[in-house]
Amino acid sequence: MAYGGRRNTAFNAFAAFYLASWENCHGVEWPDMSAAEAVMEARAAGIHLGVEGDDLVLEAAAAPPPAVLDQLSRLKPAIVLWLRPGADGWSVEDWHTFFDERAGIAEFDGRLPRDQAKARAFACCVPEWLNRNPVRSPPGHCLYCGVGDHAHNPLLPHGGESTGHAWLHSRCWSAWYARRRAEATSALAAMGIAAPANLPNDYGKNGSA
Ligand SMILES: [Zn+2]
């Protein structure tokens, strides 16, 4: 962990302590929300948290409370994973923020029961994940079955101009899209975001929160 920002020399004594206290950067299983809670408490204590590589960078105008620092130290690997942007540009925290906002809109503006609001929020996360993790393929072969163009089963481009196209037979699209949705669902689950177990995952698939 490194200290930045105001370069308060009072932090120098803490720095050595933190460098020695972190070991494991793996094995975090969401939803272990202790990292999220530690981040909230740190921000409430006036600490700005950033990530550089595997390091947590703290900025604050005054020396933070030792208990807050101790918690950041203990949970550093999980906090780094929570805050570090993924390949799609969003951190785990960003995904949870998106989910929570959608659930809140569905619950309070849409007046849905909590479980249905969460299901609706999850249904919004899936297309967002698909948009942020686009798949492209060269024309000439179907991305799903690998076979080329046929007059009776043409290859068609799917996706937007900005993200590029995936080429698929029209008959292969639905199976490919089901696989993509499963991929999104499992990526979201790995971040601790899932639809309530008692409701189908595709609840509200055709609606919007
Ligand atoms: Zn095909």
Which residues, in sequence order, are CB contacts of 190 under 8 Å at separation 6+? 30
Q: Give the Å distance between the CA of 157 and the centre of ligand 1.
A: 12
Q: Is residue 10 scored above 80 in pLDDT?
A: no
pLDDT of residue 13: 33
Tokens of 25: 């950067």
Contact 188, 126 (CB under 8 A): yes
Please tell me the chain's helix, strand, coil percentages from 3-state DSSP, rounded to the nearest 5. 45, 10, 45
pLDDT tens figures, 122-177:
999 999 999 999 999 999 999 999 999 888 889 999 988 888 899 999 999 999 99
Q: Give me the helices (H) in the chain, please.
A: 12-19, 34-44, 66-74, 76-83, 92-104, 114-132, 173-190
pLDDT tens figures, 70-84:
999 999 999 999 999
Q: Give the Å distance between the CA of 114 and the centre of ligand 1.
A: 40
Q: Give the Å distance between the CA of 26 and the centre of ligand 1.
A: 38
Q: Give the Å distance between the CA of 149 and the centre of ligand 1.
A: 9
Q: Give the Å distance between the CA of 179 and the centre of ligand 1.
A: 13
Tokens of 164: 């590029």
